[in-house]
Structure 1
Amino acid sequence: MAAARASIICYYDVISPYTFMGVKLFNRFRQQWPGVDVTFKPMLLGGVMNSIGNKPLFEFVSKREHMISDLDRISAVTGVPFKFPTEFPVSTILPMRVLVALQIHESTEKYEQCIDKLFDEYFVHGRNISKPEVIQNALTPILDSDVSKVQSYMQLANQPEVKQAFKSNTDEALARGVFGAPSFIVKKAGDPENKEHLFFGSDRFEMIAAFLGLPYPGLIPKNQPKL
């Protein structure tokens, strides 16, 4: 059955600096795409890459140096604040499982606010998001200033339900051909075949917009001077 609305699924892991930038830009652009259903799915990026034999950029000195310079340029052009963290990489299993639990039990709005906040903690403020106290301090204001609620989600992160959901998301991403992050699974509205299309990377939004027939405002905000 053809979908009545276009849809975009974003597979992400908060360890990825390009995913940080991609999610920030996606959230900016999607404000002009009200007819598109959006879902953020947490996956284990390391698990995906290990499964296909891929290696992260930071393992190669020249690629790591380019990555940092490239992200700084993107930040300057787009106005998205960014600072490469001193501690990189760190384990994101705990924060990602917390996000899985939040997606299951909280509203979409609060879940997405928590994604955004954890990204900021790491790639703007340089705080080690593998640490429970950093997660607690970041998410408490979003979750009604209820410390016990955040602690309960960190406990849920170790429960079979959440572990299995996280693994299922990762397996699902692999089955859809995902090989890195950010990855976007895009469907056109009214497609009789309900076909999925994979777009990879933080620089594919112009292509996604053109594919779906949507407006593309460009990388530079209206109040941002061109370089």
Structure 2
Amino acid sequence: MSKTVEFYFDLGSPATYLAYTQLPKICAQIDSQLIYIPILLGGIFKATGNASPATIPAKGAYMFQDLDRYARRYDVPLKFNPNFPINTLMLMRAVSGMQLRHPERFLTFIDCLFKAIWVEGRNLDDPATVATVLTQNGFDPTEVLALTADEDVKAALKNNTEKAVQRGVFGAPSMFVDNQLFFGQDRLDFVLEALA
């Protein structure tokens, strides 16, 4: 039986975006399954007492330089979003809703949102901008907004976040292989080793 990578993610993390660009290739290389688990990073921070590195000016400046280095290494686009940090509550509810109600469109959905934030630098704190991005990518903003109000969807995101904390997750991206936690997009070589 092939191994799995459980990928705990929030759209608002640039490191998570970079991991997102690489994990499908890693899983294809080792013939393993990638399981996407949406979480609310703000909820993780609150539960664990953690905070974004960007809250410490020197560390934040370094982090974005380092992420830029990795983007060049991975040969993927990355643009610092001038609207960072983004409140992702509604976005991650939408992601959870798409996974729950329209799994066949889930990957296309997260792809357009990751790109809007981390390639195009769009302000996804602004509902009008979100609606434009969704429309441009073939999604109905009204239907997506309805998903964010769905009680089952809200519960799914909350449960994912709570279970992540119980498993020791303190930030994103977090990946599990055989119940081993790997934190950060700069730990993908360990993920690869664990799969192999």
- TM-score bin, normalised by smaller chain: over 0.9
| Distance across 1 between alignment mates of 2:84 and 2:155 | 27
Match of 1:155 in 2: 146
1:171 is aligned, of 153, 162, 183, to: 162
What letter is aligned with 2:14? P
Q: Superposition RMSD on alpha carbons, in Å?
A: 1.6
Give the drift of 1:134.
2.7
> For 1:61-100, what aligned pairs fall within 5 Å after superposition?
61-100=57-96
> Is the Cα contact below 8 Å between 1:184 and 1:199 reproduced in 2?
yes
Match of 2:9 in 1: 12
> For 1:1-227, what aligned pairs fall within 5 Å after superposition?
4-34=1-31, 36-108=32-104, 110-140=105-135, 142=137, 145=138, 147=140, 150-187=141-178, 196-213=179-196
Aligned residues: 196
Give the drift of 1:25.
1.4
What letter is aligned with 2:149? N
What letter is aligned with 2:35? T
Q: What's the TM-score once normalised by structure 2's chain length?
A: 0.93
What letter is aligned with 1:32? Q
> Is the Cα contact below 8 Å between 1:93 and 1:130 reproduced in 2?
no
Identical aligned residues as a percent:
33
What letter is aligned with 2:187? R
What letter is aligned with 1:20? Y
| Distance across 2 between alignment mates of 1:146 and 1:159 | 17
What letter is aligned with 2:162? D
| Distance across 2 between alignment mates of 1:175 and 1:93 | 20
What letter is aligned with 1:48? I
| Distance across 2 between alignment mates of 1:22 and 1:181 | 10
Q: Which secondary structure state, in structure 2, belongs to the residue aligned with residue 126 of structure 1?
A: coil
Q: Which has the larger radius of gyration?
A: 1
Q: What's the TM-score once normalised by structure 1's chain length?
A: 0.81
Structure 2's unaligned 5+ residue stretches are: none
Structure 1 segments (4+ residues) deviating >4 Å: none
Q: Which secondary structure state, in structure 1, belongs to the residue aligned with residue 185 of structure 2?
A: coil
> Is the Cα contact below 8 Å between 2:174 and 2:183 reproduced in 1?
yes
Q: Which secondary structure state, in structure 2, belongs to the residue aligned with residue 169 of structure 1?
A: helix
129-138 or 169-178: which moved more?
129-138
Give the drift of 1:26.
1.2
| Distance across 2 between alignment mates of 1:174 and 1:59 | 21
Cα displacement string for residues 92-122 of structure 1 (whole angstroms, at most 9, x for unaligned residues): 11111000000001134x2112112111101
| Distance across 2 between alignment mates of 1:135 and 1:33 | 35
> Is the Cα contact below 8 Å between 1:94 and 1:130 reproduced in 2?
no
Cα displacement string for residues 114-160 of structure 1 (whole angstroms, at most 9, x for unaligned residues): 11211110111110112233333333455xx353xx41121220222
| 1:210/1:51 CA distance change after superposition, 3 Å | same
| Distance across 2 between alignment mates of 1:125 and 1:200 | 26
